[in-house]
Structure 1
Amino acid sequence: MPPKRTSTSEAPTITQAAIKKLVANSVSAALEAQAANMENTDNTTRPREAPVARQCSYKEFMSFQPINFKGTKGVVGLIRWFEITESVFSHSNYTEDCKVKFATSTLIKEALSWWNSFAQPIRIE
């Protein structure tokens, strides 16, 4: 068994007050740096507020030409359906309720049968 290492110098102790002061100084410095950075940048580069989700019509949703998903094209078909459906939703800003209703309206054949067997037991309309 290797011998234990002993140190002749003690580690400096730091108090809670010193820790609080270090944190406060770091936060102050970060806030000052951010304020200076914002003053030097153009206001048009600030992130915009997220738009408010809105109700929508089925006719409007269909105008985006979503694809139907049959459930017969395997993983590739499913991924393609996800990508196109998510693309429609990213442009539309629909409420979550609208997204579910409209996405499931594009399911046909085997995919629709699967959805109905899934949704019915948990009472999704």
Structure 2
Amino acid sequence: MPPKKTSTFEAPALTQSAIRKLVADSVTEALEAQAATMANADNTNRNTKEREAPVARKCSYKEFMSCQPINFKGSEGAVGLIRWFEQTESVFSHSNCTKECKVKFATGTLTEEALSW
């Protein structure tokens, strides 16, 4: 077996504060360069007006159901109930369901024994 090569070069040890300073200097330099680029750019297509916040649209029951929420019968036990909660929350997220509609839409997935709760 050939002998292992050893290096006589040692990398200088960097302290946490030295690393933080290097990162901060790099970020500052990048931000200054970006600001200079934007200040020098004569872009007539650039929108300088403030953006309006998008208005959340109300999802419909049809959109909610198109995400295929699971039905809950009430006989699945605690694990089934938790799974139903998690999956229903996921469907709410995917369908952009508003707070006002969540209870109404979720109750539409209850069947059999769960209907009498």
Range class of TM-score, shorter chain = 0.5 to 0.7
* Counterpart among 49, 57, 61 of residue 58 in structure 1: 61
Matched, 1:107 2:113: no
Read off the aligned partner of 2:77 and give its amino acid letter.
G
What residue ranges of structure 1 are gaps of 5+ in the alignment? 1-32, 43-49, 115-125
Moved over 2 A (4+): 50-54
**Do the aligned residues in 2 keep the contact of 1:71 with 1:109 (CA within 8 Å)?**
yes
Read off the aligned partner of 1:94 and give its amino acid letter.
C
The alignment's TM-score, normalised by the length of structure 2, stands at: 0.52
Aligned pairs for 1:1-125 (under 5 A) are: 39=31, 52-114=55-117
CA 1:52 to 1:78, structure 2 compared with 1: closer, same or farther past 3 Å? farther
Structure with greater proportional helix content: 1
Instruction: Provide the aligned C-alpha RMSD in A.
Output: 2.9
Give the whole-Å Cα distance in 2 for the aligned partners of 1:53 and 1:71: 33
Read off the aligned partner of 2:70 and give its amino acid letter.
I
What residue ranges of structure 2 are gaps of 5+ in the alignment? 1-23, 35-52
Read off the aligned partner of 2:97 and give its amino acid letter.
Y
The alignment's TM-score, normalised by the length of structure 1, stands at: 0.49
**Do the aligned residues in 2 keep the contact of 1:52 with 1:93 (CA within 8 Å)?**
no
Read off the aligned partner of 2:73 and give its amino acid letter.
K
Aligned residues: 73
State, as a whole percentage, how many aligned pairs show the same letter. Answer: 76
